[in-house]
């Protein structure tokens, strides 16, 4: 076991950190990396229990991930997709000197919708979705991951291509560790970072997919409205993984945001 996460360092220019989503690994960003590597030095992280960080002795918990990542990447903006967005957002609030800008890519401060008796966060998904996946991991690991991939691509104009690309990447770096997958589902179900947004001290980009069925673009819009100086944008026809189907659009949005004075 080791305490150091795997990071691919690719490209040239100012640094940018990329954080992937649940059950995936940094390699899933390949189409986006290809479009950014001439402008940025990309630090593409495999989160604990995932990819080539499968056997790393770091729990998949927000603060533990942030400490482990911050120890091995330079001061740089962090871009987090889906679950990786929770890590990036928490990092930007904890370490604004280390994380001077934040890009949330199809990610929300709270993935689960509220009930009628609480604060009415209405654009999340049902908590039962994550509980069902947790049950499925115990009974049929691979089929459960396959179902999650289908959910990520559902709604996209290029759903078949997206599913194929995500399935192709899923086990390229080995199977993710079952305990980390379970911990990740708990994070997705229980995390609520909305109270951090009004005090966010760094510029942020909230980039949504119009057809995303896992992270509703309206949730990202509402979250961006809580963060000072935030920028919200939508990629038309994209689902939950727009860097696979609309990589040019994602790259353009990131470049424009990161180039702003």
Asked if residues 20 and 152 have their Cβ atoms less than 8 Å apart, the reply is no
The helix/strand count (H/E) of the chain reads as 10, 7
Catalytic residue among 6, 43, 50, 240: 240
Catalytic residue among 82, 156, 191, 204: 82
Sheet holding 41-45, edge to edge: 7-11, 41-45, 15-19, 78-81, 102-105, 204-209, 230-235
Query: Does residue 240 carry a catalytic annotation?
Result: yes
Query: Does residue 55 carry a catalytic annotation?
Result: no
Catalytic residue among 212, 216, 222, 249: 212
Query: Does residue 161 carry a catalytic annotation?
Result: no
Asked if residues 245 and 239 have their Cβ atoms less than 8 Å apart, the reply is yes
Question: String of b and e for 151-164 (b: at least 16 CB within 10 Å)?
Answer: bbbbbbebbeebbe
Residues forming the active site: 82, 212, 240
């Amino acid at each position: 076991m080791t305490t150091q996460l795997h990071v691919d360092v690719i490209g040239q220019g100012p640094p940018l950190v990329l954080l992937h989503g649940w059950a995936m690994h940094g390699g899933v960003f390949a189409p986006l990396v290809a479009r950014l590597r001439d402008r940025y030095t990309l630090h593409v992280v495999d989160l604990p229990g995932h990819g080539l960080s499968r056997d790393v002795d770091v729990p998949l918990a927000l603060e533990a991930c942030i400490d482990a990542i911050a120890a091995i990447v330079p001061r740089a903006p962090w871009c987090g997709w889906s679950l990786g967005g929770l890590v990036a957002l928490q990092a930007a609030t904890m370490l604004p000197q280390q994380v001077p800008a934040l890009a949330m890519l199809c990610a929300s401060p709270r993935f689960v919708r509220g009930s009628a008796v609480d604060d009415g966060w209405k654009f999340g998904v049902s908590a039962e979705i994550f509980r069902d996946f947790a049950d499925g991991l115990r009974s049929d690991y691979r089929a459960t991951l396959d179902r999650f991939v289908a959910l990520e691509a559902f709604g996209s104009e290029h759903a078949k291509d997206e599913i194929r690309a995500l399935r192709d990447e899923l086990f390229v770096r080995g199977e993710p560790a079952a305990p980390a997958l379970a911990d990740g589902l708990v994070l997705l179900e229980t995390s609520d970072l909305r109270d951090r947004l009004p005090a966010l001290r760094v510029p942020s980009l909230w980039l949504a997919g119009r057809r995303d069925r896992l992270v509703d673009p309206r949730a990202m819009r509402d979250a961006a409205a809580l963060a000072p100086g935030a920028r919200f944008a939508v990629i038309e026809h994209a689902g939950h993984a727009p860097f696979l189907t609309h990589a040019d659009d994602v790259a353009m949005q990131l470049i424009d945001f990161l180039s702003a004075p």
